[in-house]
Chain A
Amino acid sequence: MLTSFSLRQRILGLFLLSIIAIALIGVTLALRDLVRKARTEIQEQTRALTVAMLPMLNNTLVIGDLATVEQTFEGLVKDMRIQRLMLLDANDRRPLIDVIEKRNTPHYFTPHWFQSLFNMKIPPYEHTIQIGGVNYGIMLVEISTDPLAHEIWQSVIYLLMWVGIILVMGLVVLSITLTKGLNPLIQLAHIAERFGHGELFLRAPIINIPEIDATTKAFNQMADNIFSLLEQIRRSEETNRQLAAIVEQSEEAMLTVDIDGYITSWNLGAEKLYGYSQKDALGKHITFLLPLDHLPSELTDILRHHKNELFTRRYEVQMLDFNGHLLDIAMTATPLLNSREEHIGEICVGRDITERKNFEKMLLQAKETAEAATRAKATFLAMMSHEIRTPMNGIIGMTRLALSTPLNDEQKDYLECVQSSADSLLIILNDILDLSKIDAGKLTLETTPLQVNELIKGITKLFTSPANSKELELKTSISPEIPSHLLGDPVRLRQIVSNLLNNALKFTSQGYIAIHVSPCRAKRDNYFGLHFSIIDTGIGISEDKLELIFAPFSQADSSTTRHFGGTGLGLTISSRLIDLMNGRIWVESCLGKGSTFHFTIELEMLDDESLQSLQNQKNETQFYQISAVSNDQKTYRILLVEDNIFNQKVATILLKKMGYVVEVANDGLEAINALETKDYDVVLMDMQMPNIDGLEATQRIRAKNSSVRNPQIPIIAMTANAMQGDKERCLQSGMNDYISKPINVDDLQAILRKTLASC
């Protein structure tokens, strides 16, 4: 029922009812209080009046002057609100005096209901007059409540009149306020309706009524938000349409699958690639594209096992097209997320890589062929190297022996020429061997403790004499920041430095050659970077040749080879070795003024424990060296195990010259037999021999059930097998050390001393 009234009517009605209710309750309560107080006051006044009258009354009654009493009563009745005053006989309550207010009050109109509402009648006040124990009479005072009732009634009328006036004024003011307040709301509703019908640019005006303005601002804000959202949706839809078109028309085969692997979208590219129409593909499981023998594939794995992994994966997979052709597909699977970031499937973008795969297969085949050829070449070279080294060993050894015999000048000159040619041939042979090893990837670096300082000193020592002969100054400077001990391959480092020094010496006719070693930054942790600079004041290299010099078989000028000699492999080998040492090589040169070859390498650093152990080892070595020297007087028996008769001869003569007693065994079997019957101090063991080769012979000597006299006898390998891995194999079989052929006399002497000293 209330809903049929407008808001204005409701508010006005409620206001009206509230004011009336408040007024009625307020008036009633106020009047009740007023009446209560008035009654109390009247009763109090009556009592006070009576008390005030008593002395006069008492005196008069004692005298018995009733006339005076009556006169007094009449006076009181006229002036006060007393309606009736009576004096009764004390014994029989007979009225002695009865004075009634005469001028009854027709002008005091008060409705009976109003009087009864407030219980206005007040009972008469009665007082017995007793003096000295004698009752002189009873005084009755009857109070008129009419004036009081009338007065209150007038007040009520007056109050109600004001309530009425306030009510009317309130209604008028409220009505105006409501009208002013509600009109903007109605207007706002109208604007909202129009906005709802599509007039999205409409906004409600601000009218400076805070409550309405708050609503208006909220509406305007909401309208702005809706407008903005609609705009975003429109843009988003446009973008989506474009994206959909791009995806749909893309040449890339794009498809999406749900979390269980069922296809949910399929674009034109997919149709082209796989040959299935969208209609055929949608709803099918992705595995329908997989060849039966490929199940389960990585794709299904991803779908099955990696549902919760939200990152893109790229993999290659083979798939069948509509015609049953096997396709190589490069697949990119990206997780598909919904708006709540939940994983709902995968976006799979496939690209046909069948051709590339075929090409790769061809390449792989070609590579394998090439590698096989390289391996064959390397093996050939190794074989050749061994085969050449063995006679070279004989030539060099024998030449050296021949040179140590009495010769005339001509013979000596010839033999020196033979030795020089043989040395050059050996260098060439070593270079070719190194290069072949590097190319075959068979060259690995040793990791043994080395002292850069000592190493440079040693090299410099070797080059002092040749430099002096050319009147060149040889300078070295090594930064003190370089650690004393590092781990690396000292042989190869020596080879690199020697090579560069050799070149410098070769191409410098005056001035100086300098070696600088300084630290540089290493790329790897726990490695120390070394920067080597070999400076010369030689002929220099022209700028256009600088790039070529590190290529194999190249020198700055082909005439160089003719003029200065050399294979032209030195820089190439150095460059490759430096690569292996995680460094680089470059050159700065000025034609006619000299060149500076720089190279950097990284050597592993030793921890404190290793350093300490090395220090101890060094001390021991020194002790052994001293021991060897001190025991030099002792005659040591050496068993030389060698099948080549020339080598037997060379070695025997060399060892005897060194002061050792030498016995020869032609193969491993003979060596074991000899060791079973005689005591030797050391065995020099060739590797490749008939019957039992060096490795097997060593294993037998070292075996638990060995029949030799001293299974722990030091065995030094002595072989032309200079390929990488030879040394390891020797040591694995139980040998103590290794020396390669052709034999360098100094090396042999050093290794024998070291071995014998440790016995």
Chain B
Amino acid sequence: MRNLHQYFFIVLLNSLFLNCSAAEENKPLIFGILNQQSPQLTAERWNPIINYLVKTTGIPLQLKMGATVQATDEMMGKGEFDLVFTNHNFQTEYDGVYRVIARWSGETIYGVIAVNQDSALQTLHDLKDKKIAAPSEDAFVAYAVPKVALKNAGINVAFSFAGNQEGALAQLKAKLVDAAAVNSRFLKQYMTREKIQFREVFVSEPFAELPIIAHSRLSAEKVATIQNALLNMKNDPNAATILEKAKCKGFEMATDKDYENVRLIYRQSGQ
């Protein structure tokens, strides 16, 4: 009888353990996204891709982000993300925590400082003591890269943070600032959409698109599964509509090495 009780207890424990294990298995992996757009637009772009990955891999995934870059970075800092679309991991504090498994397919981008077409500012040196709008202190191509370039050239400027690239260019358009620091791709999109011309007074070296990184706590199998799914998306007819809506050409293979220049910039800027 005692044995029987023991048996039930063991079964109960097992079932609890198994249940916990099962619960652990069913708990979705958190896919963090760096705040490049508003949370709604980010969700509209990334939710279909994430859903595709869930369906393809059978691994539950859930989009998560903070209200701001800082909030998102903070969440990353707390280790809340299993997978992240960001390049902030190249800062010193994340060394060894994440590894690159793929990157957003596309041309390389540049850090750009743009002025209004009718502005008297012609060169980087002309920006001395000028007011420059930037998305945030956490922006890489749009802030860290120009900031390092200005610093290396010995030009002192006053940065004004608009929250995101849209805000930075809006401030420039409204002539609230003398110049705006953004990435080259966004600048092009903005000028087309708003039917306005800005002039570039600084263009940085090229930088690869943001990578998708995986937390080191994930099993290699899961990471490989997700990586395969990501890399195959561009070849999967079922993903074509999703990628088209997300204005994404798919994902391509990338490694940490591809982002050494980023890591360097961070080091130069003290991050």
Contacts and interface: CB of A to CB of B under 8 A. Distances in A.
A406 interface: no
A137 to B, nearest CB: 13
Contact of A133 (B39, B42, B47, B71): B47
B45 interface: yes
Nearest to A130: B47
A132 B64 contact: no
A59, A63, A64: residue with the most chain B Cβ atoms closer than 10 Å: A63
B67 A58 contact: no
B39 A132 contact: no
Interface string A123-159: 0000000011110000000000000000000000000
A133 B48 contact: yes
B47 A65 contact: no
B269 interface: no
A106 interface: no
Nearest to B242: A133
B65 interface: yes
B68 to A, nearest CB: 10
Nearest to B64: A64
Contacts, number: 41
Contact of A55 (B40, B51, B66): B40
Contacts of B48: 132-133
B233 to A, nearest CB: 16
A62 interface: yes
Nearest to B72: A63
Nearest to A131: B43
Nearest to A132: B47
Contacts of B38: 55, 59
A62 B39 CA distance: 6
B51 A63 contact: no
B63 interface: yes
B39 A63 contact: yes
Interface string A234-256: 00000000000000000000000
A683 to B, nearest CB: 158
A128 to B, nearest CB: 15
A63 B44 contact: no
The SS class assigned to the B binding surface is helix
B47 A58 contact: no
Contacts of B251: none
Nearest to A59: B39
Contacts of A59: 38-40, 67
Contacts of A65: 67
Interface in A52-68: 55, 58-60, 62-65
Nearest to A65: B67
B73 to A, nearest CB: 14
B85 interface: no
Contacts of B66: 63
B65 A132 contact: no
Interface in B42-81: 42-48, 51, 63-67, 71
Interface in B241-260: none
A62 B51 contact: no
Contacts of B39: 58-60, 62-63
B39, B44, B64, B71: residue with the most chain A Cβ atoms closer than 10 Å: B39
Interface string A268-292: 0000000000000000000000000
A134 B51 contact: yes
Given A132-B45, A132-B48, A58 B40 contact: yes
A132 B44 contact: yes
Interface in A603-618: none
B38, B43, B48, B67: residue with the most chain A Cβ atoms closer than 10 Å: B43
Contacts of A64: 64
Nearest to B35: A63
Contact of B65 (A55, A62, A131, A133): A62
A133 B40 contact: no
A60 B39 CA distance: 8
A132 B38 CA distance: 13
Given A55-B40, A59-B38, A62-B42, A131 B64 contact: no
B44 A131 contact: yes
A225 B171 CA distance: 102
Contacts of A131: 40, 43-44, 47
A64 B65 CA distance: 9
Given A132-B48, A134-B51, A58 B64 contact: no
A58 B71 CA distance: 17
A134 B28 CA distance: 14
Contacts of A62: 39-40, 42-43, 63, 65
Contacts of A134: 43, 47, 51, 63
Nearest to B62: A134
B70 to A, nearest CB: 13
Nearest to B42: A62
A132 B44 CA distance: 4
Contacts of A63: 39, 65-67, 71
A540 B66 CA distance: 173
A70 to B, nearest CB: 16
Contacts of B47: 131-134
Contacts of A133: 47-48, 51
A131 B65 CA distance: 14
Contacts of B45: 132
Contacts of B51: 132-134
B40, B42, B51: residue with the most chain A Cβ atoms closer than 10 Å: B40
Interface string A54-95: 010011101111000000000000000000000000000000
B67 to A, nearest CB: 5
A58 B39 CA distance: 8
Interface in A163-218: none
Interface in A34-65: 55, 58-60, 62-65
Given A62-B65, A134-B47, 13 more contacts: A55-B38, A58-B40, A58-B43, A60-B39, A62-B43, A63-B67, A64-B64, A131-B44, A132-B43, A132-B45, A133-B48, A133-B51, A134-B43
24 contacts: A55-B40, A58-B39, A59-B39, A60-B39, A62-B42, A62-B63, A62-B65, A63-B39, A63-B65, A63-B71, A64-B64, A131-B40, A131-B43, A131-B47, A132-B43, A132-B44, A132-B46, A132-B51, A133-B47, A133-B48, A133-B51, A134-B43, A134-B51, A134-B63
Interface of B: 38-40, 42-48, 51, 63-67, 71
- Give me the 6 closest cross-chain CB pairs, A-B, nearest first: A132-B47, A62-B39, A58-B40, A62-B43, A131-B43, A59-B39
